[in-house]
Structure 1
Amino acid sequence: MRRLLNRIPLMFFLCALHPLALPAGTTGKIAGQVIDAASKEALPGANIVIEGTMMGAVTDIDGHYVILNLPPGAYVVTAKMIGYTAMRMENVNVSIDLTTTLDFKLSSTVLNLGESITVLAERPMVVKDQTATTAVMGAENIQALPVTEIAEAIELQAGLIKDAGGGLHIRGGRSGEMSYWIDGIPVTDVYDGSSVVDVNKNMVQELQVVSGAFNAEYGQAMSGIVNIATKEGSNKWGGSLSTYFGDFLSNHDDIFMNIKDINPAAIRNIDASIQGPLKKDKLFVYLNSRAIHFDGYHYGQRRYTPGAVTMLAEGIPGAYLRQYMPEYLPLAREGRNDTYGIPYVLGSNVHADSLIVAQNLPQNFMGNADSLFAVLYQQYRHAHQGGRGDDAYVAMNWNRKYYAQGKLIYKLTPNFKIAYNLIYDDIHYQDYNRDYKYNPDGQAQQFRIGQTHIAQVTHTLSQRTFYTMGISYFSKEYRRHTYEDAHDARYVHPDLSIQNPFSFKS
């Protein structure tokens, strides 16, 4: 009995830990050894300093050092010791979950006070502690690529393809089998397996795509991991502002309608960011915002409007066509002199409306044709008057996107950091559908709004130990409609929808 009571606190502790997810890696580390260049002996007590930060280490008795919990990026690292010339290593790259080995050989040669030796660090051909198939891209690599979205940079990685519907597949797996992480927090939408929020490429410090043998810390994934670390503010104020405009041009105007009508403002992008210290060495901020206006390259022509209800004119005798629908007479079948499956727009011909509506009423309605027909005919004849369009060209694969991010870092002490990150996206778009080529206003529009809040605490206990705790909240809203009001009179009644509502096959 006493043994059982002794185990109860441990059981409660384990139960409390059970629902918590271990945070994924968001930092890397630098490790190495400092030795005498002449004697090759270890130099204990040497100072290793990362310039521009409050981070560093002191070598142990064997000359070894470790600097943990470093955000990904490029650093300048300096090794100093009394009686030796300081050595400065530039372009030292740190990646998520990886160790950058950096050894120093200090010379005791007498130099003028303040002089140092500068060395450019090189990336090793083989990363010894990388056990998974991983593609790593830093902020500079992403900026150098001819991509406008972070998803496009992900698509360039080996073993990954994008299907016709926009889903990403790693090594033949399904699109919903990937897991998305931002700053060590999972942001995968459990509904469809996509990311809860889209990330602006300019706010990414490092992107990792893990396509096999990933560590246990990355759960709920079958095919691969997309791990993103976002940028942070520093002790120096800085910012950027960029914009571009453009349009698509092609000589295949037989395929791309209206492609030769050049509008320099059809594609518009503006991106701005600012970062710096609100309080030096204590409080840092990073802000980023981006707005995109994209008209695309697929256009339709407004020959009809959503008020035009398409019905099939079948079996109408030639005599009737000749008297009431002469414009349709050339479409009559030879030999039988009647129509067969000709699309007819309700409201185009007053004399033909009653006949064609009656033909397309469901069979079980025909018994009450006198009352039902009168109601349906009057309702839809009135609702869909003026169904002919103005023949204007309308963009059909357009989007309007807005991204925003704000990140605050507060360092209570050099070893205790609190971080808050807000990521927001608002996307309004339309995917191209050939069925609506001649009635572009009838195609549904799509709306997606997402936001993610991430709060984290990181505490470094020693040169070799630290822990991170985090909490997150995210939401995602999706809507798809042609008209916001579901009772809008312009919607086609199912009884009159012979094919997709508002669509005209082409």
Structure 2
Amino acid sequence: MRVRRMFFLILCLNGSILIALSPVSIWAGQTGKISGKIIDSATNEPLPGVNVVIEGTNMGAATDLEGEYVILNISPGTYALKVSMIGYAPQKVVNVKVSVDLTTRIDVQLSEEALAMEEIIITASVPIVQKDLTATVEIIRSEEIQQMAVQELNDILQLQAGITTGADGELHIRGGRSSEIIYLLDGVPIVDPFDGSRSLEIENDAIEQIQVIAGGFNAEYGQALSGVVDIVSKEGGDDYHGEVSFYGGDYISFKDDNLNNIKQFDADNVFDNIDDISPTDIFNLQGNLSGPVPLTGGRVKFFSSVRYLDSDGWLYGTRVFNPSDSSFIPADLSQAVFDATGDGKKISMNSFRKITSHNNISFNITPLVKLRLGILWDDIEQREFGEIRDLKERGRNQAHFFRLNPDGYYRQKRKDYAITPSISHTLSTSTFYTVKFSYSSFDFKEFVFEDP
């Protein structure tokens, strides 16, 4: 058994580290910005004093004498901009995508209006070349994740260029070790200090954006040697939104063997007890809910996601022996004595069960000050086999040696949680700072029989 607890306190000003107290000295920005220039469509002259507002928020800016504007500290997502000025037709720019640590450039031309005109709607497009991109980066947004036929975070990452899955089931970026990947959630490392693996389960429906940096990353990602996976979780919106989904299934194979009779055992037939279909052998139930907290005037918003997954797996053993049985095998095999007291019941050798919860609460104290609290926890129990969900590498593929004594094969349990409060304060149109605090606990156990 091992328990690891970590503490992080990070203060950032203008995207630079001022203070970092943690076992892993890294910090990464979790917001982006929108900037651009507003000009007169007829004269191409810059327009000062134009109001640029992000629809549905209290964030915005006014253009300076050169017609330039900047909106800082924007959470990743897709937004709409409203551009207006007295004497000009208002415009609305939709599909404005904001990414972590990047600038979205939106330039607008306004036309004079002699009479009242309807609002002009413009659809923003992503530039072919991102000028402020200094590394090899893949950005996956929540809208794209919804279109993917994937269930786990690792399934998404495997689809990205430069990421492969090794024979051990672990992810590798550009040939580096799996322990050389840094995982960040909302700017805080979620890495087990014992072996460098990801320490928390993150569900796909709780992800707003994933940024995979596979090379050339900046110094802000301190101990990253192979790559960085930067995850930003969802926040609640102005409207209530919820989803519930479930599925069931089973593994099936007609390549069966009968381990009840040891003499009939055929080593080529490895799939036992899955020739019958049971729709509940794999059961998944998950849901999420988000929106404003009642009686707070829309200033406090929440997002909550919960998932329960239970799978019996595909590898079964037969309880021919119990762990307390003993056998005598002399040189003359005809004199061998087998103490077999098992009941012949089929026992799963690679079962997997997990319960996860991801909760975010955001509070706009003032238009310039925002408080956010994230609470995550997971409870995982499994019997390990060479599958992607493996928790640790020890004992890999040893399950076959216990197929006649399945109760003698070890189990694994993990209970993890993290609490991450943060506060962000915008000082001016060009300056903001963020203070983050994080407390995490990772508890891992491996045993044959749990302590009474």
Q: Which one of 88, 93, 96 corresponds to residue 89 of structure 1?
A: 93
Relative to structure 1, the CA distance from residue 146 to residue 126 in structure 2 (aligned partners, 3 Å threshold; closer, same or farther) is: same
| Equivalent residues in 2 for 1:149-188, closer than 5 Å | 149-188=152-191
Relative to structure 1, the CA distance from residue 463 to residue 307 in structure 2 (aligned partners, 3 Å threshold; closer, same or farther) is: same
Q: Distance in 2 between matches of 1:417 and 1:456?
A: 8
- The alpha-carbon deviation at position 232 of structure 1 amounts to 0.7
Relative to structure 1, the CA distance from residue 47 to residue 252 in structure 2 (aligned partners, 3 Å threshold; closer, same or farther) is: farther
Equivalent in the alignment of 1:447: 413
Specify which structure has the higher proportion of strand. Answer: 2
Equivalent in the alignment of 1:324: none
Q: Distance in 2 between matches of 1:98 and 1:130?
A: 7
Equivalent in the alignment of 2:3: none
Equivalent in the alignment of 1:476: 442
Q: Report the 3-state secondary structure (helix = DSSP H, G, I; strand = E; otherwise coil) of the residue aligned with 1:153.
A: helix
Q: Distance in 2 between matches of 1:34 and 1:275?
A: 35
Unpaired segments ≥5 residues, structure 1: 1-15, 317-327, 330-338, 348-386, 487-506
Equivalent in the alignment of 2:79: 75
Deviations 1:445-471 (A, max 9, x none): 100111111111111111111111111
Give the partner amino acid of 2:95.
N
- The alpha-carbon deviation at position 38 of structure 1 amounts to 2.0
Equivalent in the alignment of 2:353: 400
Question: CA contact under 8 A between 1:23 and 1:470: conserved in structure 2?
Answer: no
Deviations 1:77-101 (A, max 9, x none): 1111112111111111111111111
Equivalent in the alignment of 2:324: 307
Q: Distance in 1 between matches of 2:253 and 2:309?
A: 22
Q: Distance in 2 between matches of 1:469 and 1:260?
A: 56
Q: Which one of 120, 123, 127 corresponds to residue 120 of structure 1?
A: 123
TM-score, reference length from structure 2:
0.85
**1:285 maps onto 2:302 in alignment:** yes
**1:201 maps onto 2:204 in alignment:** yes
- The alpha-carbon deviation at position 72 of structure 1 amounts to 0.7
TM-score, reference length from structure 1:
0.76
Give the partner amino acid of 1:201.
N
| Higher Cα Rg, which structure | 1
Q: Distance in 1 between matches of 2:327 and 2:306?
A: 44
Q: Distance in 2 between matches of 1:232 and 1:127?
A: 26
Question: CA contact under 8 A between 1:69 and 1:466: conserved in structure 2?
Answer: yes
Q: Which one of 435, 443, 456 corresponds to residue 401 of structure 2?
A: 435
Question: CA contact under 8 A between 1:277 and 1:283: conserved in structure 2?
Answer: yes
Equivalent in the alignment of 1:63: 67
Question: CA contact under 8 A between 2:95 and 2:124: conserved in structure 1?
Answer: yes
Q: Which one of 112, 129, 133 corresponds to residue 130 of structure 1?
A: 133
Question: CA contact under 8 A between 1:93 and 1:100: conserved in structure 2?
Answer: yes
Aligned length: 406
Q: Which one of 268, 276, 281 corresponds to residue 261 of structure 1?
A: 276
Equivalent in the alignment of 1:360: none
Deviations 1:254-293 (A, max 9, x none): 4422222101111111112111112234211111111111
Q: Distance in 2 between matches of 1:174 and 1:166?
A: 12
- The alpha-carbon deviation at position 68 of structure 1 amounts to 0.8
Highest RCO, 1 vs 2 (Cα 8 Å, sep ≥ 6):
2
Q: Distance in 2 between matches of 1:61 and 1:471?
A: 39
Q: Which one of 143, 147, 169 corresponds to residue 146 of structure 2?
A: 143
Q: Report the 3-state secondary structure (helix = DSSP H, G, I; strand = E; otherwise coil) of the residue aligned with 1:151.
A: helix
| Equivalent residues in 2 for 1:301-450, closer than 5 Å | 301-311=318-328, 313-316=329-332, 329=334, 344-345=337-338, 347=339, 387-432=340-385, 433-450=399-416
- The alpha-carbon deviation at position 111 of structure 1 amounts to 5.5
Q: Which one of 452, 465, 476 corresponds to residue 431 of structure 2?
A: 465
Question: CA contact under 8 A between 2:27 and 2:222: conserved in structure 1?
Answer: no
- The alpha-carbon deviation at position 23 of structure 1 amounts to 3.2
Deviations 1:424-458 (A, max 9, x none): 01100111321122222221010011111111111
Q: Which one of 222, 226, 233 corresponds to residue 223 of structure 1?
A: 226
Unpaired segments ≥5 residues, structure 2: 1-17, 257-268, 386-398
Relative to structure 1, the CA distance from residue 242 to residue 111 in structure 2 (aligned partners, 3 Å threshold; closer, same or farther) is: farther
Give the partner amino acid of 2:66.
D
- The alpha-carbon deviation at position 401 of structure 1 amounts to 0.5
